[in-house]
Amino acid sequence: MKTRTLYLAFVAAVCLATMALIKPAPKDYEREIYAVESAFQKMTVEKGIAEAFWFYADDNAVLKRQNDTLIKGRVAILKYYAEQDLKNASVQWSPDVVSVSQSGDMAYTYGKYVWTIGSGSSKKEIKGVFHTVWKRQNDGSWKYVWD
């Protein structure tokens, strides 16, 4: 009886240890990316566009902006947004598509965005489609490498 109990305890311990090593399914990864996109967008409202785009950028991130201008690196991204007049600006977006690599270390999203600039009669909306590439960081967080 003791041998059987020890055997069952051993099998249970091995099963639990194995389960702890299994990576979440890709659907779990997709939920992570949706949550990161949502937190990123929320931060633009709460802390400002410049800080949000800086915070969620990978050290080697690249932004593609007007006229195919590329802004490379977190510091340059912060500088770019800090130089913009964003007092009366906001941006809203939500991904229509999220796809994550099977290994869970890279992902991409795309969907529609709306930039609102100005106020009152000078208020202007710019609509478009965004595409973001995400990379899982060593600490498990996600940062964009392309936006």
Query: What's residue 11's pLDDT?
Result: 45
List of the chain residues with pLDDT < 70: 1-25
Integer angstrom CA distances of residue 125 from 64, 88, 90: 19, 12, 10
Burial 109-126 (b: 16+ CB within 10 A, else e): bbeeeebebeeeeeeeee
**CATH dotted code for 25-146:** 3.10.450.50
pLDDT of residue 128: 95
Global pTM reads: 0.80
Q: Is the dihedral of CA 54, 59, 64, 65 positive or negative?
A: positive
Can you give the pLDDT at residue 129?
A: 96
Residue 2 has a pLDDT of 62
Collapsing DSSP states into helix, strand and coil, what is residue 93? strand
C-alpha to C-alpha distance for 3 and 126, rounded to whole angstroms: 71
pLDDT for the residue 26: 73
Q: What are the residue boundaries of the structural domains of the chain, listed by start?
A: 25-146
Which residues does residue 91 pair with via DSSP β-bridges, in sequence order?
A: 115
